[in-house]
Structure 1
Amino acid sequence: MVTPVNRRTVLLAAGAGAAAGLSLPVTAARAHGRTGAKVGFTLNARVLDGGEQIVSITLGATRLGPIDPASLTTGTFAVHARATSPIPIAEGDQIFSEYDVDRPVTAIRLDRRGDIVLDLAYGEGQVGGGTLGYILSRGRNVRLDLAYTITQTAPIRRRDGRPVSIASFVQGKLLNPEVDAFSHHVSRSGMKYRLYTPDRRGAHGPRPVVVWLHGGGEGASLRDDYYDNETTLRANRGALGFATPEAQRIFSGAYVVVPQSTSFWMEDGSRFAPLIREIVAEVARRHPVDERRVHVAGCSNGGYMSLKMTTVYPRLFASSVPVCGIVASLTPGGPQLITDAELAGITTPTWLITSRDDPTVPPEPNTIHAHDLIPRSLMTLYDQVVWNGHRFNGHWSWIYLARNDPSSNGTRVWQWMAARRR
Structure 2
Amino acid sequence: MKYTQKVLVTGEDFGPVVKKTIIKLDQTIDTIDMNNLKVIEEKNAVIDKVTGEEGIIRTEREVLDTYTSDEYGNKVNNASQYITIEMSISPSVGSPFIFHETTQLNNWCNPYRLHISGLNVNPDIDVENDDKLCPQLDKWTMNTYQAIDGIKYSYAEYRPSLDDKKHPLVIWLHGLGEGGTDPSIDLLANKVTALADAPFQKCMKGAYVLVPQCPTMWMDNGKGEYKSDTKDCIYTKSLFELIDSYVKENRDIDRIYIGGCSNGGYMTMEMLLHYPHYFAAAFPICEAYHDEYITDDQIDMIKHIPLWFTYAKTDQVIDYTICTIPTVKRLVDAGASNIHVSIFDDVHDTTGLYKNEDGSSYTYNGHCSWIYWDNNECYEGELNAWEWLAQQGN
Alpha-carbon distance between aligned partners in 1 of 2:84 and 2:97, rounded to the nearest angstrom: 23
- On the 8 A contact 1:327/1:370 being kept in 2, the answer is no
Q: Distance in 2 between matches of 1:95 and 1:210?
A: 38
Task: Evaluate the alpha carbon distance shift between residue 339 and residue 196 of structure 1 in structure 2; reply closer, same or farther with a 3 A threshold.
Answer: same
Structure 2 residue aligned with 1:231 = 185
The answer as to whether partners of 1:79 and 1:148 remain within 8 angstroms in 2 is: no
How far, CA to CA, are the matches of 2:307 and 2:198 in structure 1?
24
In structure 2, how many angstroms separate the alpha carbons of the residues matched to 1:97 and 1:181?
34
- Match of 1:416, SS state, is helix
Structure 1: gaps spanning 5 or more residues: 1-35, 154-164, 221-226, 330-335
CA 1:339 to 1:55, structure 2 compared with 1: closer, same or farther past 3 Å? farther
Mapped contact 1:294–1:318 kept (Cα < 8 A):
yes
In the alignment, which residue of structure 2 is the partner of 1:117? Answer: 84
TM superposition shift of 1:259: 1.0
Which of 23, 28, 52 is the aligned partner of 1:94? 52
SS at match of 2:283: strand
Q: Which amino acid aligns with 1:177?
A: P
> What is the aligned partner in structure 1 of residue 363 from structure 2?
391
1:83 aligns with 2:43: yes
Structure 1, residues 268-324: CA drift from partner, whole Å, max 9, x if none? 55432222222222322443442x311101111111111111111112111100011
Matches within 5 A, 1:132-147: 132-147=97-112
Contact in 2 for aligned 1:95/1:134 (Cα 8 Å): no
Question: What's the secondary structure of 2:219's corresponding residue?
Answer: helix
**Contact residue 220 and residue 233 of structure 2 kept, 8 A:** no
Alignment match, 1:352: 309
CA distance 1:185–1:337, change in 2 (3 Å)? farther
**Which of 218, 241, 261 lines up with 1:265 in the alignment?**
218
Q: Give 2:290's aligned residue.
A: 328
Query: How big is each residue's C-alpha offset from its partner over 1:172-199, in whole Å with a ceiling of 9 and x where there is no partner?
Result: 5122111343222111224323333234
**Cα displacement string for residues 210-254 of structure 1 (whole angstroms, at most 9, x for unaligned residues):** 11011112224xxxxxx43342122221x2221111101111121
Residues 1:294 and 2:294 aligned together: no
Q: Which moved more, 1:307-316 or 1:100-109?
A: 100-109
CA 205–76 in structure 1, closer or farther in 2 if over 3 Å, else same: farther
Task: Measure how far apart 1:396 and its partner are.
Answer: 0.8
Q: What's 1:373 paired with?
A: 330
SS in 1 for 2:235: helix
Residues 217/294 of structure 1: CA separation in 2 closer, same or farther (3 Å cut): same
Aligned twin of 1:207: 167
- Structure 2 counterpart of 1:196, from 146, 157, 171: 157
Residue in 2 that maps onto 1:176:
134
Contact 2:111-2:124 within 8 A present in 1 as well:
no
Kept after mapping to 2: 8 A contact 1:43/1:58: yes
> Given the two structures, how large is their TM-score scaled by the length of structure 1?
0.76
Contact between 2:45 and 2:57, CA under 8 Å: does it hold in 1?
no
User: 1:372 Cα shift?
Assistant: 0.8
Structure 1 residue identity aligned to 2:264: G
TM-score w.r.t. the length of structure 2 is 0.81
Provide the residue aligned with 1:314 in structure 2.
Answer: 276
Amino acid at match of 1:408: E
Question: What letter corresponds to residue 364 of structure 1 in structure 2?
Answer: T
* SS class of match (2:186): helix
Between the aligned partners of 1:98 and 1:53, the Cα distance in structure 2 is: 18
Assess, with a 3 A threshold, how the Cα gap between structure 1 residues 124 and 270 changes in structure 2: closer, same or farther. closer
Taking structure 1 as reference, are residues 101 and 145 closer, same or farther at Cα in structure 2, changes over 3 Å only?
Answer: same
Matched letter for residue 279 of structure 1: L
Asked if structure 2 preserves the Cα contact closer than 8 Å seen for 1:209 and 1:289, the reply is no
Greater RCO (CA < 8 Å, at least 6 residues apart): 1
Q: What does residue 76 of structure 2 align with?
A: none
1:251 aligns with 2:251: no
Return closer, same or farther for 1:209/1:355 CA change in 2, 3 Å cut-off.
same
Go from structure 1 to structure 2 and tell me whether the alpha carbon gap of 1:179 and 1:340 turns closer, same or farther (over 3 Å shift).
farther
* Percent of aligned pairs sharing the same letter: 22
Taking structure 1 as reference, are residues 167 and 48 closer, same or farther at Cα in structure 2, changes over 3 Å only? closer
CA change 1:98–1:205 in 2 (3 A) is farther
1:407 aligns with 2:379: yes
Measure the CA separation in 2 of the matches of 1:412 and 1:96: 42
Counterpart CA distance in 1 for 2:121 and 2:55 is 31
**Inter-CA distance 147–326: structure 2 relative to 1 (3 Å threshold):** closer
Does the Cα contact within 8 Å between 1:110 and 1:117 map onto a contact in 2? yes
1:143-192 per-position Cα deviation (integer Å, ceiling 9, x unaligned): 22143244352xxxxxxxxxxx7575674512211134322211122432
The separation in 1 between residues aligned to 2:320 and 2:122, in whole angstroms, is 54
Determine the structure 1 residue equivalent to 2:14.
50
> How many Å apart are 1:97 and its aligned residue?
9.0
